[in-house]
Amino acid sequence: MADQGDRPDYKVYRSRRPGPFGKGGGLQGLRKRGGTRGDGGRDGEDGRPRRRREISPGRVIRWILLAILGWLILSLVLFIVSAQLEGGSSPQAEEALNGNGNLFSGATILVLGSDERKGASIDETQGGPGRADSIMLVRAQFGGVRKLSIPRDSSAEIPGHGTGKINGAYSLGGAPLMIQTVENFLGNDLEIDHLIEVDFKDFPAFIDAMGGITVNNKTRICAPEFDNFYRGFKLRKGERHLNGRRALGFAR
């Protein structure tokens, strides 16, 4: 038996229950607790990095500047459209418009889709410039754009002509009378600032120039065409690609 003084010096390691590393002891626990500063910073109670979502004043300022920039771009587009259409507007229509509208108060725009169809009766056209088949009111202001479609067959009081369909105001007195009729129809001291007129005669050529348009038809359509009752307009349900003429029939 060797002498006790000849024994080498050994270090004794004793196992113990996980301490500060919790359930994930050892090297794995260290990795979980250490994490990476780029993924979250300090650790949470579960040992995973805690993500911080701080909103700095600089980020808020950038959001505000982006919102203002978006509004300025929208205002510029509306200004260009108004400038292009101004040459074709009548002095009477300009007098009927309010002409105001700015960044804070917003602008109210009346969009009219006029149509002169073949074979229309005297009661339909009344000898005027055609009917307003599409009537839409657009409100553009800081924070968004809202629109309101007015059914063309709505009963309305037409100044100087009694009660009739609201789209008849366009054939009776053109854009000026249409503006007055819409303002009286909606009430609440409504004032229209700008007017956009779209002639359906140019609509098919516009669609064809873009190579047609694809629509998602939710229900099968089988209706007579406006210029030819016997030919009719038919469109099956689903996604369909239309040329200019059929797109006009679909829009009507």
**What are the pLDDT digits (tens) for 115-174?**
655 444 434 444 455 677 788 888 877 667 788 889 888 999 999 999 999 988 988 888
Q: What is the per-residue pLDDT for 67?
A: 80
222 has pLDDT over 90: no
Mean residue pLDDT across the chain: 71
CA angle 93, 83, 170 (to 5 degrees): 25
Topology (CATH) of 63-198:
Aminopeptidase (3.40.630)
The pTM of this model reads 0.49
Q: What is the per-residue pLDDT for 40?
A: 46
Q: What is the per-residue pLDDT for 106?
A: 76
pLDDT band at 184 (very low <50, low <70, confident <90, very high): very high
Q: What is the per-residue pLDDT for 120?
A: 44
Residues contacting 81, CB < 8 A, separation 6+: 196
Q: Where are the domains of the chain?
A: 63-198, 210-251
Q: How many whole angstroms separate alpha carbon 134 and alpha carbon 184?
A: 18
